[in-house]
Each structure stands twice: as structure tokens, then as C-alpha cells.
Amino acid sequence: MLLELLVLLVPAALGEDVTQRQLKPVKGVPHSRLHLYQPSTTDTFRCLDGSQTILYSQLNDDYCDCKDGSDEPGTSACGNAFFYCSNVGHKGNFIPTNRVNDKLCDCCDGSDEYDSGVDCPNICDELGRAARIEREKIANVARKGFQKRQELAKEGQALRDAKLKDVEPLRQERANIEPERARLETEKKAVEEVEKKLQDEHRNQWEAVRIEKKKLRAQDWFDELDLDKSGKIDREELRQNLFLDNDHDGFVSEDEVKSYLTIDEADFEHFQSSMYDRLKEARHQHREEMKYKEEQEKEKAKALENAPDDDDLLADEDRHEEEEDPEDVRAQEDDKMPDYPPEVNEASEKAREARRLFDEVNEKVQDLDAKIREAEDFANSDYGEDYAWAALKDKCFDRNVQQYTYQFCPFGQNTQKDVGAYGGTSLGNFKNWSGGETNKYSKMHFGDGQQCWNGPKRSTDISIECGEENELVEVTEPAKCEYLFTFRTPLACTDPDKEVVHDEF
Ligand code: MAN
């Protein structure tokens, strides 16, 4: 409301040289606006909204004539008018006219109570002095902060210049290297293909041999198990193999062999496809169990006899550990692929060298890309008109509030974590400066933080104030998962000696 009034009241007739004339004072009107209240040649007054013309004598006659209240700036007759207290020695200000002569002192010079019988003392000098001291204090902080800001701005600008100056040569260098990188990449792919083809050929050939060897092993075992040499294995023959004694009762039952031989008798083909692997696994398991059992017994005996002959026992143990299933040993040997022949090794060596050459150039390109990106990021970021905020680019500031440590990282991510804990909850990433057109750099907005349970994604608004040091001075959570930080910094200080103070409108 006051703002609307002030806009309306900005002297429309400033063109007129009002200082040349002796202006007639009017109660409740500041000097700067008196020209609007001077009597016309016909001794009339035109309401400031132009709605009507009244006699000059009707000004401040305690009767409201104008719709905008402009005829009664010095009385309480109009509900929508304002009275100006000049408050010499302090700061002039407007009060709503309904406070004029209401027996309460509103103006520090007491001028609003000129006809109420209340004697308001003039305390403007006193208030003015205190306000001046306070202003000076604030100005001192601003002065020191502003000086720091200028230094930081220099650093920021130097950083910008360095980054932007470097980026063109970097782009050029990258463009120069690119054809070489592309050539080496094609070359690398070609020799790697040859290497893979030769390795695959070798492996495939070996695979055929391996299958053949496995078949031979299976055949040998089949012949061993086929006690009556009938060319078939039946359950009775299988039961002669103690490793199938699952329940360790010293005897292989019909049931124990059933799961290995589900048909009456197996010829070699059936044995190879359905029995060999499982029997091999069963025999291996059995050997492991026996070994373990033997070791346990030896331990027991050692304990009972109080380790009578350690050396013998150890020798025994060692011998057992070395004893491997000869089938397993044979299988392991059969499964070992022979080394690649020299032509494959040669291809591998070529591929290795091509990779090395490519990686060398590629790393250079990646390094250049990172530097170019960094410079572009810098150029696309808004570090304030004077670049001073670049100084805080990778910095963070903490504040403990109750059980939490809050962290503010100006162009990064804000977090909340339990005091002393590691990691934390994201309160949002830097999105934009949000101080509006008039004071863009007075606020920051952070968004897209960790989702709040039954609520929005966490976000933070930062209110930025002038201070001598960088400091996170206040953290609140005005709404669930919406945080408000107050950050003091020299970067928000303006030159106090340049600011114009308007005491009167
Ligand atoms: C956590 C913190 C609080 C927040 C709640 C919402 O406890 O992040 O700041 O209000 O979650 O559930």
C-alpha cells in the first residue's frame, strides 16, 4: 500500500523549478511534494487523482473531499491518506492519517499529535544518533566485505580469463589430434579382430580335442566298471564301487545306485551322456570326505596320545594331501588348453602395441575434453557480474543444528547428516540464482534433493547477506523437507560509500 502511494506520489511536475519559489507549507506534506499543494490563481486545489477541484481553503479542513484523500494529508479525516513526519535529526516517514491526533506518539518529532493535547517529546536526535551508529557499524562490515569481494572478483576474473584464453588452443589441439586418434582406433580394431579370429580358431580346434579326450577317459572308466565285459553296466556292477556308499554303512545299496543308473543297464553312450559327470563328482566328493575323516581321526589320536610321534603323523598327512584323484589329475591335464602357437602370439603382440598407441592418444584427447568441458562449464556458469562467486565454486560450509550437520556447497549439493556421520541426505543441487530481477544474487535455489517420505523432493533456498566472513549462520526447515539457509559472505557486500540514502520523498 505504502509502495503504491509512493509510486503515485513521485513528483509528476519535477520539470517545474520548485526551488526557485517560496513554497507555502502544508501540514503533513513533505517539502519535495509541496509544489503539488500550492494555491492556483483561482485559489483552488485539484485533487491529486484529478477527480475534482475544491477551494484551497478546504485543504486540511478536517473534511474529506477527494477520493484519494489528497486534500487531507494533515488530518485524520480521510481513511486513505498519509501524513508526513519530517523527523529532523532522524528519518522522515509517512504514517496513515488515522494515526494523526489519536493520542499516540507515532512520529519521533511528535508532529502527529499537534492537536490532541498529548505532549509528545521530540526524540529524533536520540534515535538519529543510535541509527547513525548502527548504520556506521553495518557500513563498516560492508566496507571490509566489499574490499574482500573486490579481491575475490579479481581472482574470479583471472580464473575466467585463464580458462577462456586456454580453451581455443585446447580445441585446436584436439582437432589436430583427432585424425590420428581415428586412424589408430581403426588400426587397433583391425589387429584386434585378427587376434580374436586366430585365438578363436585355436580354441575351437582345442575344444574338439578336449571332447575327444574326455570321451577316452569315459571309455576307460566304462571298461573298468563293466566287470563282465558285456559292453553294458548294470546296477550290480555299479554297487561294487564303495564311493557310492552315501550313508557310510560300508555297503552300497540298490537305492544308492538307483539315482545314477535309472534304467536297467547302460551302454557306453548312455554312460557318457548321463552318468559319467555325476559319477565323477560323487567319487571326488567321497575322496574329500574320506580325507577329512582321516584327518579328524589323526587329530583325535594325537590328542589322546599327547602327540607321541609328530613327525610320523605329519608325514602321513602330507602324503595324503598330495594324493589326488588320478582321474581328476588326468582331467585337469586334458582340460588345459595348449599355449597359443607363435602366429597367435604375434597377432596378440601387434594388438597390444596398437592398443598402447591408441590409448596414449586417446588419453590425451580425453584430458583435452575434460579441460574444454571445464572451461565451457565455467563460461556457462553465473558467478555474479564481477565473477567473485567463482572463488566459492568448490567450497562448502557447515553448521550444526540439533542432531544434524548441514552443509552448503554454493554450486554443488547441499546435505543434511547426523552429526559425526558419514554421507548424508541430499537437500538439493544448485539450480539457479533466485533473487529476482532487482537482486538476483541475493538468493539461490537448490532442488531435486532426496525424496521426502510422503512429501516433495528436498529443496533449499539460500538467503545471502553481506558479512565480513563466509559463514552459514542459520538453518531452518519452514516446511517439511523445504530448508532455508542464511549465508553471510563478503560477496554480497556493496560499496556502502556509494549508496544514496533517501530520507525524504
Ligand atoms: C528426516 C530429515 C528431516 C525431515 C524428515 C521428513 O528426518 O530429513 O529434516 O523433515 O526426514 O520425513
Quick: pLDDT tens for 272-300: 999 999 999 999 998 888 889 899 999 99
User: Are residues 399 and 328 both part of a single domain?
Assistant: no
- N- to C-terminal Cα distance for the chain? 15
For the cut 60, the answer to whether the pLDDT of residue 10 exceeds it is: no
User: Are residues 6 and 110 both part of a single domain?
Assistant: yes
Q: Is residue 57 part of a domain?
A: yes
Q: Is residue 500 part of a domain?
A: no
Q: Ligand 1: distance of its center to the CA of 445 in Å?
A: 19
- Tell me which of 400, 460, 481, 482 to substitute to probe ligand 1's pocket, judged by most ligand atoms within 8 Å of the beta carbon: 481
For the cut 80, the answer to whether the pLDDT of residue 17 exceeds it is: no
- For ligand 1, what atom is nearest to the CA of residue 477? 9
For the cut 50, the answer to whether the pLDDT of residue 11 exceeds it is: no
User: Are residues 28 and 113 both part of a single domain?
Assistant: yes
Average pLDDT, the chain: 90
Quote the percentage of the chain above a pLDDT of 90.
Answer: 76
Q: Is residue 380 part of a domain?
A: no
The residue nearest atom 2 of ligand 1, judged by CA position, is 481
With a Cβ cut-off of 6 Å, ligand 1 is lined by 416, 425, 452-453, 477, 480-481
94 has which bridge partners? 84
Q: Is residue 166 part of a domain?
A: no
Q: Residue 469 maps to which CATH number?
A: 2.70.130.10
Q: Closest Cα to residue 62, out of 53, 52, 71, 54?
A: 71
- Tell me which of 452, 484, 485 to substitute to probe ligand 1's pocket, judged by most ligand atoms within 8 Å of the beta carbon: 452
Q: Which of 312, 335, 358 is the last residue of a domain?
A: 335
Q: Is residue 254 part of a domain?
A: yes
User: Are residues 331 and 398 both part of a single domain?
Assistant: no
What's the count of helices (H) and strands (E) in the chain, helices before strands?
Answer: 9, 14
* CA dihedral sign, ordered 100, 102, 107, 110: positive
Q: Ligand 1: distance of its center to the CA of 484 in Å?
A: 14
User: Are residues 331 and 404 both part of a single domain?
Assistant: no
The residue nearest atom 5 of ligand 1, judged by CA position, is 481
User: Are residues 403 and 319 both part of a single domain?
Assistant: no
- In this prediction, residue 93 carries a pLDDT of 95
- In this prediction, residue 331 carries a pLDDT of 85
pLDDT, tens only, 95-152: 999 999 999 999 999 999 999 999 999 999 999 999 999 999 999 999 999 999 999 9
Q: Which residue has the higher pLDDT, 169 or 13?
A: 169
Q: Is residue 301 part of a domain?
A: yes
Range of the domain at 293: 211-335
Q: Ligand 1: distance of its center to the CA of 425 in Å?
A: 9
How many domains are there within the chain?
Answer: 3
- In this prediction, residue 323 carries a pLDDT of 64
Q: Report phi then psi at 351, rounded to 5.
A: -65, -40
Q: Ligand 1: distance of its center to the CA of 452 in Å?
A: 7
Q: Residue 249 corresponds to which cell in the numbers above?
A: 554303512
User: Are residues 15 and 101 both part of a single domain?
Assistant: yes
Q: Which of 96, 122, 148 is the last residue of a domain?
A: 122
Q: Closest Cα to residue 462, out of 418, 421, 390, 406?
A: 406
pLDDT, tens only, 350-402: 999 999 999 999 999 999 999 999 888 888 899 999 999 998 988 999 999 99
- Tell me which of 459, 476, 480 to substitute to probe ligand 1's pocket, judged by most ligand atoms within 8 Å of the beta carbon: 480
User: Are residues 414 and 486 both part of a single domain?
Assistant: yes
Lowest-confidence pick of 257-266, 310-319, 490-499? 310-319
User: Are residues 429 and 322 both part of a single domain?
Assistant: no
Q: Which of 122, 143, 160 is the last residue of a domain?
A: 122
pLDDT, tens only, 298-314: 999 988 886 555 445 44
* CA dihedral sign, ordered 210, 211, 212, 215: positive
Tell how far CA 339 is from the center of its chain: 51
Quote the percentage of the chain above a pLDDT of 70.
Answer: 91
Q: Ligand 1: distance of its center to the CA of 433 in Å?
A: 25
- For ligand 1, what atom is nearest to the CA of residue 458? 8
How far apart are alpha carbons 140 and 68 in whole angstroms? 43
Q: Is residue 109 part of a domain?
A: yes
- In this prediction, residue 500 carries a pLDDT of 54
How far apart are alpha carbons 352 and 192 in whole angstroms? 8
Q: Is residue 442 part of a domain?
A: yes
